[in-house]
Structure 1
Amino acid sequence: MENTFENKTMLINATDLDRVEFYKKTYAHVAGGVLLFVLFEYLLLQSDAIVTFMMSMTQGWRWLIMLGGFMLITNYAESTVLKTADKNIQYMAYALYVFAQAIIFVPLLAIAIYYTESEDLIQQAALVTLALFAGISAVVFLTKKDFSFLRTGLTIGFFIALGLIVAGSLFGFNLGLWFSVGMCVLAGGSILYQTSNLIHKFGTEDYIPASLGLFASLMLLFWYVLQIFMSRD
């Protein structure tokens, strides 16, 4: 995600005080997104009808329809927060994206709870995800290196992954543990890229677009860390 606003004060040119305030707002909004995701997920998992429907959508072409709808919402949310300066509209787009994430996570979390008969596995995966997210983010802040060069590699990697997901859905083969490991590597690269954008690409008022990008990368990492944890059982 790169902001296209004009006449903005770039964070790299801002004062130390403004940068610290921006970082606080950005990560507060990421945390807010996580809390909203947890709330949405809790409510969705209380409905047997929703869980049954979402489980039915995980097979073959139905899952591709779900992924297509998710990608459309993702594109809409990202373009909206980047193209408007209206904070209310940005918040609505962010909330819509969080809800879309909650919807698509329903079958994975339902399976994790069903097979383990508890939420321990989910909690363990969440802790590992947060630790990885913090560690990767720290690399950027400590080195202050611009990781924008990762964009091309990430784009190619995600297109390859999407092709494998489509093939797996259509032809019914399991992508396996190493695919999940590879996706965790891609998610880690995405976190590096998004965190680097905080320093080098965004303006002082762009904390909502910045938080959406970080939240998206965080949830991608969580999805595949949880897949890895589930593969152990």
Structure 2
Amino acid sequence: MNTNVLVSQSTDLERGDFYRKTYTHVALAILAFIGVETVLLKIVPEQMILAMFAQRYLWLLIIGVFWLASFLATKWSLSLNKSTQYFGLAFYVILEAAIFLPMIYLAMLYSGGEVIFQAATLTVAMFAGISAIAFTSKRDFSFLRNIITIGGFIAIGLIVGGMLFGFNLGLWFSVGMVILASATILYQTSKLKDAYATDQYVGAALQLFASIMLLFWYILSILMSRRD
């Protein structure tokens, strides 16, 4: 098999192998996230988890670290070095598990895991549906790039403003973020063949995993808000 060849310029066999490996790594990343999250729930003291809810400036620091790590992970995902791609994916899985820790803890208190299962089921169903649209539609989804970029900056501004000034972003913000995450998955999936070479399936998996976790976060937020 040729290496460093864009997926769009590869043979049907190479293209199929790329997608199979990409989605296998997405599934493995999700399983790794579940494993790391389970370990964190067992070893991190309850007081430390609760402190993350109370300290708004701590969350600003976490978000800052998260966006910096996201930038680095994106850079790593495009690396031609397989070890760098794996490092980026592993690093991002651990980071997501840490970010999700207070949310998962609260969801466990609310429903003993029922709401988490519901959110996970909806996330997987939406991801599968969006991916099917991306693969079967002949439309060009390039127009989504600017929408996603602008929407992302607006979202960051609202999140930071909410933490600084103490206002609740509410249900509709979560709905908007679900739409934004869905658009991101649609755009990324449709552009996988143009952005990655056939041996960059780990990096492609990292990009999809990040968007899936964003979608899961806000679906879980919506379901939990209905129980308040």
The residue matched to 1:124 in structure 2 has which SS? Answer: helix
What SS does structure 2 have at the residue aligned with 1:90?
helix
Q: Unmatched 5+ residue regions in structure 1? A: 1-6
Gaps of 5+ in 2: none
Distance 2:44 2:83 in 1: 33
**Can you list the C-alpha shifts for 1:2-57, whole angstroms capped at 9, x where unaligned?**
xxxxx9311112111111100000000100100000000000001242x4324313
Identity %: 50
TM-score under structure 1 length normalisation? 0.92
TM-score (norm 2): 0.94
Which residue pairs with 2:134 in the alignment? Answer: 140
Equivalent residue for 2:39?
A: 43
Partner in structure 2 of residue 56 of structure 1: 51
Equivalent residue number for residue 203 of structure 1: 197
> How far apart are the structure 1 equivalents of 2:12 and 2:117?
36
SS at match of 1:203: coil
Backbone CA RMSD of aligned residues: 1.4
Cα offsets for 1:52-103 (capped at 9, x unmatched): 3243133321110011111111211221232x32212211121001100000
Tell me how far 1:133 sits from its aligned partner.
Answer: 0.4
2:185 equivalent in structure 1: 191
Cα distance in 1 for residues equivalent to 2:29 and 2:47: 25
Asked whether the 8 Å contact 1:36–1:98 carries over to 2, the reply is yes
Counterpart for residue 213 of structure 1: 207
Moved >3 Å (runs of 4+): none
The count of residues paired between Structure 1 and Structure 2 equals: 224
d(CA) in 1 for partners of 2:84 and 2:105? Answer: 32
Rounded Cα–Cα distance in structure 1 between residues aligned with 2:47 and 2:70: 24
The equivalences for 1:68-217 within 5 A come to 68-82=64-78, 84-116=79-111, 118-217=112-211
1:155-207 deviation line (CA, Å, top 9, x unaligned):
10011011110111111111111000000000000001110121332221121
